[in-house]
Amino acid sequence: MNDLLPLIVAKYNYWMYVILMMIGLYAMIAKNNLVKKVVGMNIFQTAIILFYVSIGYKTDASIPIIKSSDTAHGMVVRAADYINPLTSCLMLTAIVVSVATFGFAMALIVRIYRRYQTLEEDELRMRLSE
């Protein structure tokens, strides 16, 4: 138990992403309303985005733009001074994917509502079995 606390504090970003992910998963599984499920799905995807961004982070590092004035004076560029840009770039793509999925899910929900006049899953199931 004594070892656990430092472990949580030192790697709190990973704990946060797991907690967020589980909140999202819980909403997707347990909620009855379709909009809530879709929001849960979005939280789930956001958790992974946070995970990726946090693995690229370094303490006391700046944004990864190398000024031409620095290199012109023969200064050595140290990788430790800059955060890893790759993970953030990857997440730009993942954000596009999650926005597209979210938008499409919402469009489907509109269609479901127009057809059945409800978004509660148990009511939908009753309608479908009629």
Partner 1 sequence: MDNYPVLIVVAPLITALLAGLFVWIEERLSYPIVLAGLAVSVFSAINVLIQVLASGSIQYKMGGWPPPIGIEYRIDLLNAMVLCLVSGVAFLNLIASCRSVKQEISDRAGSYYTIYNLFVTGLLGVTATGDLFNLYVLIEITSLTSYAQVAMGDRDRGPLASLNYIFIGVIGASFYLLGVGYLYIQTGSLNMADVAAIIKDAPASSTVLTAFILCILGIWIKMALFPMHVWLPNAYSYSPVVFSRVVAPLMTKVMVYVMIRLMITVFGYDYVFKTLHLADAVVWLATIAVLAGGIMALAQKNLKKMLAYIIVCEIGYMVGGAWLGNRLGMTGAILHILNDALMTFALFLGVGNIIYKIRNVDLTDLKGLFGKMPWTMGGFVLAALSIIGVPPTCGFFSKWYLLLGALEKGAYHFAAALIISSLICAVLFFKVFEICFFEPALHGLENPHSHGAIEEAPVSMLIISGLVSLSLIAAGFYSGTIVNRIIIPFLG
The structure tokens listed for 94 are 């993942």
The count of other CB atoms within 10 Å of the CB of residue 27 is 19
**Phi and psi angles of residue 128, each rounded to the nearest 5 degrees, phi first:** -70, -30
In the set 7, 19, 66, 100, which binds partner 1 (CB under 8 A)? 100
Contact between 112 and partner 1 (CB under 8 A)? yes
In the set 71, 115, 120, 126, which binds partner 1 (CB under 8 A)? 115
Asked if 56 and 86 count as a contact pair (C-beta separation under 8 A), the reply is yes
In the set 111, 117, 122, 129, which binds partner 1 (CB under 8 A)? 111
Query: How many angstroms separate the CA atoms of 78 and 93, rounded?
Result: 27
**Phi and psi angles of residue 51, each rounded to the nearest 5 degrees, phi first:** -60, -50
Distance of closest approach, residue 100 Cβ to partner 1, in angstroms? 6
Stretch that binds partner 1, among 2-10, 61-69, 71-79, 95-103 (CB under 8 A): 95-103
- Between helix 34-55 and helix 85-116 the angle, nearest 10°, is 180
**Phi and psi angles of residue 32, each rounded to the nearest 5 degrees, phi first:** -95, -25
Query: How many angstroms separate the CA atoms of 39 and 54, rounded?
Result: 22
Residues 17-56 that bind partner 1 (CB under 8 A): 25, 28, 34, 37, 41, 44-45, 48, 51-52, 55
The structure tokens listed for 72 are 């012109």
In the set 104, 122, 123, 126, which binds partner 1 (CB under 8 A)? 104
In the set 7, 8, 77, 108, which binds partner 1 (CB under 8 A)? 108
Q: Which residues of the shown chain bind partner 1 in the complex (CB under 8 A)?
A: 25, 28, 34, 37, 41, 44-45, 48, 51-52, 55, 87, 90, 93-94, 97, 100-101, 104-105, 108-109, 111-112, 115, 124, 128
